[in-house]
């Protein structure tokens, strides 16, 4: 049985996150403008309304979770970081907007546990290890969320 590759899983996660209504600027890797100026960062991460709104997916860990008697890996778990930023805007309740987007991403992941991949893939939803925090991103005060998604691949 063929198994899904890390690249296929990353692409599938990208597609799930990008499909969520209201999500803008999804990248399947961390993005850094060439000269790292605030203007270049704003251009890369701005939504059509001028706010900073971006999501980035990156594999951060992997581990063998099931070894056979012959020391052959039978299951691998990949851990992906999902990081999102949204400009702080009290009038538009940006904190509430980000909460809504997090819930929508979680719902999209729950609706597609296998990420459209039939090769022994099963993901376990979005884990948010801490509350939404505020941090400066692209020179703008943003709400930030840093979560993880665990994806198990069997029959490696």
Give tens-digit pLDDT for 9-54: 999 999 999 999 999 999 988 888 777 777 888 888 888 888 899 9
| Structure confidence at residue 149 (pLDDT) | 92
Q: Which pTM value belongs to this model?
A: 0.85
All structural domains of the chain with their residue ranges: 6-154
Residue ranges of the chain with per-residue pLDDT less than 70: 1-2, 65-73, 119, 129-131, 155-156
| Structure confidence at residue 31 (pLDDT) | 86
Which residues fall within 8 angstroms of residue 34, CB to CB, at 6 or more apart? 40
- Domain at 6-154, CATH from 3.40.50.620, 3.30.1330.10, 3.30.2000.30, 3.30.450.20: 3.30.2000.30
| Structure confidence at residue 131 (pLDDT) | 65
């Amino acid at each position: 049985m063929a198994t899904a590759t890390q690249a296929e899983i990353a692409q599938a996660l990208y597609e799930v996150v990008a499909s969520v209504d209201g999500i803008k600027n999804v990248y399947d890797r961390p993005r850094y403008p060439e000269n790292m100026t605030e203007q270049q960062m704003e251009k890369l991460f701005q939504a059509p309304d001028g706010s900073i709104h971006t999501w980035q997916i990156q594999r951060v860990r992997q581990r063998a979770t099931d070894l056979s008697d012959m020391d052959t890996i039978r299951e691998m778990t990949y851990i992906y970081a999902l990081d999102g930023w949204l400009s702080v805007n009290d009038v538009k309740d940006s904190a509430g907007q980000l909460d809504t987007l997090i819930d929508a991403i979680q719902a999209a992941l729950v609706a597609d546990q296998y990420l459209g991949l039939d090769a022994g893939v099963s993901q376990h939803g979005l884990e948010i290890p801490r509350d939404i925090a505020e941090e400066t991103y692209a020179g703008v005060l943003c709400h930030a969320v840093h979560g993880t998604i665990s994806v198990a691949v069997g029959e490696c």
